Amino acid sequence: MIDRRTILAGTPGAILLLAGCSGTAASDGGKLSIALISKGFQHQFWQAVNDGAEQAAAEFDVDITFEGPDSESEVAQQIDMLQTAMDRNPDAIGFAALDSQAAVPLMTEAETRGIPVIAFDSGVDSEVPLATASTDNLAAAALAAEHMVELIGGSGKIALVVHDQTSVTGVQRRDGFVEYIEQNAPDIEIVSIQYGGGDQLESTNLATAIIEGNPDLAGFYGSNEGSAIGIVNAVQELGRDGEIQIIGFDSGQAQMDAIRSGLMAGAITQNPVGIGYETVKAAVMAINGEELPESIDTGFYWYDATNIDDEEIQAVLYE
């Protein structure tokens, strides 16, 4: 039987409050200001991250801003947002990199200007961020692959639509899945890995082409909300419902509906509220000069039709 891995760090019951931080004043005598730059705001995941950040902002009595580019392929727009946020001279920055290398010069600038940086969701190829609040994406993707092996009986053809190959999350959710298959399921063939930028329409088009080119496809993995729903759309449009096992990542109403209806076998959900909360908490600690762990693991869960309504799963699903 597959052991469902759950890591509860970052959930309300596991959070240690930061005593005394709410009385810390910013340099201008007002509240501390923390600028958060996400990968976007079009997916429900990021809205849930914002909810968690707002919870922490209220608890620690700080002001936050939360913004992201129009889509998860708009690296240049995200970099511009980061520069603009830095020009406002916040007390700290939280940053979820679309491209782990593109922001390196601005990370150096932040360090020079004495602005502490907390990475969230995705890391940066830089030593500047003091901590990264994120899911263990390698382990989470491996758990998705483990379930795929079971669902298709250990053999057959599968494919992946991944949201990108430039962010840490994209790379790790691809590699964690692929490495598990390669090491544990020699009779499963990965016939295609495509990158849809997390966009549902692009992911639908990519998945459609893969299915048409591989009519005997047994399984499909989508590495984020947009990727997974794109796959579901393609399977429905081609009339292959029930013939291809689909595993997703994240939640959102569309994925939950697909799991409840049987279109999707299951998915990995993160703890986005915990990611937002822990990012702001870590930023306040950094401003106060407190020691931070390099990695803040915010947890993940497997969910499917058998446990989607369980209390612990409902607590980390986002609609």
* Nearest alpha-carbon partner for 120 in 134, 138, 140: 134
Q: What is the pLDDT of residue 42?
A: 73
- What does the pLDDT look like over 179-193, one tens digit per residue? 999 999 999 999 999
- CB-based burial of residue 72 (10 Å sphere; 0-12 exposed, 13-18 middle, 19+ buried)? buried
Contact 100, 168 (CB under 8 A): yes
- What does the pLDDT look like over 54-72, one tens digit per residue? 999 999 999 999 999 988 8
Q: What is the pLDDT of residue 12?
A: 33
Mean pLDDT of 231-237: 98
**DSSP class of 238:** T
Burial 133-156 (b: 16+ CB within 10 A, else e): bbbbbbbbbbbbbbbbbebbeeeb
Rounded-to-integer distance, Cα 135 and Cα 137, Å:
5
H-run or E-run covering 132 = strand 131-134
- What does the pLDDT look like over 15-28, one tens digit per residue? 333 333 333 345 44
Contact 175, 201 (CB under 8 A): no
- Where does the pLDDT of residue 7 fall: very low under 50, low under 70, confident under 90, or very high at 90 and above? very low
* Nearest alpha-carbon partner for 197 in 165, 171, 243, 173: 165
CA 142 vs. chain centroid, Å, equals 15
Rounded mean pLDDT of the chain?
90
- Where does the pLDDT of residue 319 fall: very low under 50, low under 70, confident under 90, or very high at 90 and above? confident
Contact 64, 52 (CB under 8 A): no
Rounded-to-integer distance, Cα 300 and Cα 313, Å:
10
- Residues above pLDDT 90, as percent of the chain: 85
Contact 161, 194 (CB under 8 A): yes
Lowest mean pLDDT among 8-12, 22-26, 246-250: 8-12
Rounded-to-integer distance, Cα 67 and Cα 87, Å:
15
12-135+271-299 and 137-270: identical CATH topology: yes
What are the CA-CA distances from residue 313 to residues 15, 59, 267 (Å)? Answer: 18, 24, 11
Instruction: Give the pairing type, strands 131-134 and 117-120.
Output: parallel
Rounded-to-integer distance, Cα 277 and Cα 284, Å:
11
- What does the pLDDT look like over 104-156, one tens digit per residue? 999 999 999 999 999 999 888 999 999 999 999 999 999 999 999 999 999 99
Residue 13 identity (one-letter amino acid): G
pTM reported for the whole predicted model:
0.80
Give start and end residues of each alpha helix (H) in 22-130.
44-60, 75-87, 104-112
Q: 164 or 319: which carries more pLDDT confidence?
A: 164
Mean pLDDT of 199-204: 97
* Nearest alpha-carbon partner for 278 in 45, 46, 65, 53: 53
Rounded-to-integer distance, Cα 102 and Cα 91, Å:
22
Q: What is the pLDDT of residue 29?
A: 55
- Residues above pLDDT 70, as percent of the chain: 91
Would you state the CATH architecture of domain 12-135+271-299?
A: 3-Layer(aba) Sandwich (3.40)
Would you state the CATH architecture of domain 137-270?
A: 3-Layer(aba) Sandwich (3.40)
pLDDT of 11 above 80: no
Q: What is the pLDDT of residue 72?
A: 86
- Supply the Cα-derived Rg of the chain in whole angstroms: 20
Domain layout of the chain by residue ranges:
12-135+271-299, 137-270
Sorted by sequence, the CB contacts under 8 Å of residue 46 that are 6+ apart come out as 38, 39, 40, 68, 272
